[in-house]
Amino acid sequence: MDIQWYPGHMARAKRLVQENLKLVDVVIELLDARLPASSRNPLIDEVTRHKPRLVVLNKTDLADPAETARWLLWFNQQGMGALAVDAAHGRGVREVPAAVQRLAAARIAALAAAGRRPRPPRCMVLGIPNVGKSMLINALAGRAATRTANRPGVTRGQQWVRLARGVELLDTPGVLWPKFGDQEAAMKLAATGAIREEVYQPEEVAVWLAGWLRQRHPRVLPERYAMAENAGEPVLEQIAVKRGLLGPGGRPDVSRAAGHLLKEFREGKLGRITLDPPPGN
């Protein structure tokens, strides 16, 4: 989470990922199910080249289930394996090793056909900060996981973790940078908490989120904060009044209202909401 992305850091992150990619058969691209488009690294296709890819949508406990289903279908149509998980509660995680094994099968068979020694299918997790990479690796590894010994070709300190179906997982994830150029993607990333507080204005993000919700889910704010659907008063003022967030002279404290709205959204208190609509919607 503490990464500031400068061109030098991006070049280094890309190089590190490409080094580790050489060791694996399948890339697990981890995305936020609320943001399957905005939480992708902009150069993901270039970085992963032709490695078979399993897209894993995480934090599905916070996303709209119907939209998650449509996103899975779309990724499948793009020729990628796709699964939905909730790493925080371990849901869906058990499907991952079998999916990796399926996607790696052709490569493993090719090695055997070339007379190479059989070896387990290998994978690594790749994604932007805060999508839940560590949590997924921990959920996959579990208590029973056996760590295999250091092997040549693996950066010192990194290890393979043995999963079900004989699949091996690199225990450290690949970290790539998020989208910067796209204003809307940046707002969505900030709204979900994927970007550090220091680099955006919470009020600006909260106003954006409230506007987006009013357009896409017009009942959500009025129901949560018992306020008029189209009242003239700005949303943050109304939330401040409803929640008793008042400053000197009893004036609505818009800054605290912004923090409150963002916190409630991130905790799922406004419902299970997907910010990136599936393509074709």
Does the protein bind ligand GDP through residue 58 (CB under 6 A)? yes
174 known ligand binder:
yes
The nearer residue to ligand GDP, 133 or 179, going by C-beta atoms, is: 133
The nearer residue to ligand GDP, 24 or 175, going by C-beta atoms, is: 175
The nearer residue to ligand GDP, 34 or 122, going by C-beta atoms, is: 34
* H helix or E strand, kind and range, residue 277: none
Does the protein bind ligand GDP through residue 95 (CB under 6 A)? no
Binding mask 124-143 for ligand GDP (x = CB under 6 A): ---x-xxxxxxx--------
CA–CA separation, 173 and 64 (whole Å): 26
Does the protein bind ligand GDP through residue 256 (CB under 6 A)? no
CB-count exposure of residue 16 (10 Å: 0-12, 13-18, 19+): middle
Does the protein bind ligand GDP through residue 61 (CB under 6 A)? yes
Does the protein bind ligand GDP through residue 48 (CB under 6 A)? no
The nearer residue to ligand GDP, 93 or 257, going by C-beta atoms, is: 93
Does the protein bind ligand GDP through residue 36 (CB under 6 A)? no
Q: In degrees rounded to 5, what are phi and psi of residue 142?
A: 60, -170
DSSP state of 252: B
CA 86 to chain centre: 11
Q: What is the closest distance, in whole angstroms, from the C-beta atom of residue 164 to ligand GDP in the complex? A: 20
Does the protein bind ligand GDP through residue 40 (CB under 6 A)? no
Q: What is the closest distance, in whole angstroms, from the C-beta atom of residue 236 to ligand GDP in the complex? A: 25
3-class SS letters over 180-239:
CCCHHHHHHHHHHCCCCHHHCCHHHHHHHHHHHHHHHCCCHHHHHHCCCCCCCCCHHHHH
Geometric angle at alpha carbon 78, from 177 and 22, rounded to 5°: 50
> Could you tell me if 136 and 30 are in contact, meaning their C-beta atoms sit under 8 angstroms apart?
yes
In terms of Cα–Cα distance, which of 77, 64, 83, 76 is closest to 277?
A: 64
60 known ligand binder:
yes
The nearer residue to ligand GDP, 88 or 145, going by C-beta atoms, is: 88
Q: Which one of 64, 86, 168, 253 is in contact with ligand GDP (CB under 6 A)?
A: 86
Q: Which one of 28, 54, 83, 87 is in contact with ligand GDP (CB under 6 A)?
A: 87
CB-count exposure of residue 139 (10 Å: 0-12, 13-18, 19+): buried
The nearer residue to ligand GDP, 133 or 188, going by C-beta atoms, is: 133
Could you tell me which residues are annotated as the binding site for GTP?
58-61, 174
Q: Which residues lie near ligand GDP (CB under 6 A)? A: 58-59, 61-62, 86-88, 127, 129-135
